[in-house]
Amino acid sequence: MLIKFKNISPLYRFSKIRSCSFSTSTVPTAKEQRIKVKNCEINYVKVGTGAQNVLFLPGALGTLWTEGKPQIEGFNKEKFTLVAWDPPGYGKSRPPEKEFRTDFLEKDADIAQEFMNALGISKFSLMGFSDGGITALIHAAKYPDAVNKLVVWGANAFILPQELEMYKKIKDINAWSKRLREPLIEVYGEKLFARYWASWVEAMEAIYKKNKGNICSDLLKNIKCPTLILYGQKDSLVDSVHVSHLHTNIEGSRIHLYPEGKHHIHLKYAEDFNKRVEDFLLLP
């Protein structure tokens, strides 16, 4: 049985999530590159020489290093070619700044397709975390011929009322502890980080009001590729109902649960996570 939300304060929920993010000061010396896609220069890394191409998509305000470091460093480089990006408007994929409109996740999916085309990669798998998982769901539904397999975790296809209320309660970054603010201030500066986060919360509220909470539920039926959904059963940001919803509506999908896992299972359980995802991606 999947676990429901616990009665914990919203800020505590978010603090337990962000506390395992990496600071950019710990990143290794890896070759970051930039490529022009539409009006944005996308910052990315490409590691490995394997035949299996994979695109890693970070979550809200996340960058390839703050959220993808264990995958960039740990994925099998002989079997996989892993591409990780700073999403448009995030991290070093600026300018321009992010525009948090109600369709910003769908636009990210469209740019992801153009980005991979620009790299000359026509067929690839998607690994999407949180907002990046939503982007991956949309992408797999819209561009089925390009996607080999899909892996998502911490992702939701709609917004629950209690989730929206939680977002609103942590809209002001001054309510966050210094330890939680610093990694994102390091990436964006305090003013832009505060504005970005407030805009993200406002975008979630606008999506909720405009679409009655729906983000991409109507697209799930169009996902035809093999799909793996991973979930930390103590994730207090993403309700367990989302896992059931994705599994029910994505034909042939499979689930793996981490009973003690929270939101960032790919960081907390990096070795196990990478091995499970690699095994899934290598299945015939």
Options 110, 131, 235, 239, the catalytic residue: 235
Active site residue 86: no
58/9 Cα distance (integer angstroms): 25
Active site residue 217: no
- Give the burial string for 216-230 (b: 16+ CB within 10 Å, else e): bbebbeebebbbbbb
Active site residue 263: yes
Options 130, 236, 240, 253, the catalytic residue: 130
Options 125, 139, 236, 263, the catalytic residue: 263
151/182 Cα distance (integer angstroms): 29
Active-site amino acid positions: 130, 235, 263
